[in-house]
């Protein structure tokens, strides 16, 4: 097993935060309530 964590992995974290924001925004604004 090798450990090789770096910049690309950090970008992954940013994308995941973006995905959560997208989920909540889509849910709250487009949910046809």
Partner 1 sequence: MFMDQVNAIVEAIGLEMMNVIGAIVFILATIVFIMELAGYRPHLSAPFVRRHTTKWDAMALIKVAIVAALFGGGLAIFAGVVFVPGIAYLRPAQAFTTVFGILFGLPGALGSAVGNFIGDIFAGTLTLGSVAGFIGNFMSAYVPYRIVYKARHADLSSVRDVARYVVAVVAGAFVIAFYIPWWLAVLGIIPAVVAWTGVFGNIWLNGLITPWVLGFILLKVLYPYVKRWNMYWADSENAHEDLRVDDLEDTPEPRTTYAQP
Please state the closest distance from residue 21 (CB atom) to partner 1, in A: 10
Q: How far is CA 29 from CA 10, 20, 25, in A?
A: 29, 14, 6
Distance from chain centroid for Cα 17: 3
Please state the closest distance from residue 26 (CB atom) to partner 1, in A: 5
Please state the closest distance from residue 7 (CB atom) to partner 1, in A: 10
Name residues contacting partner 1, limited to 1-33 (CB under 8 A). Answer: 1-6, 8-9, 11-20, 22-23, 26-28, 30-33
């Amino acid at each position: 097993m090798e450990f090789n964590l770096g910049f690309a992995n950090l970008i992954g974290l940013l994308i995941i935060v973006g995905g959560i924001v997208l989920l909540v925004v889509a849910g709250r604004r487009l949910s046809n309530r």
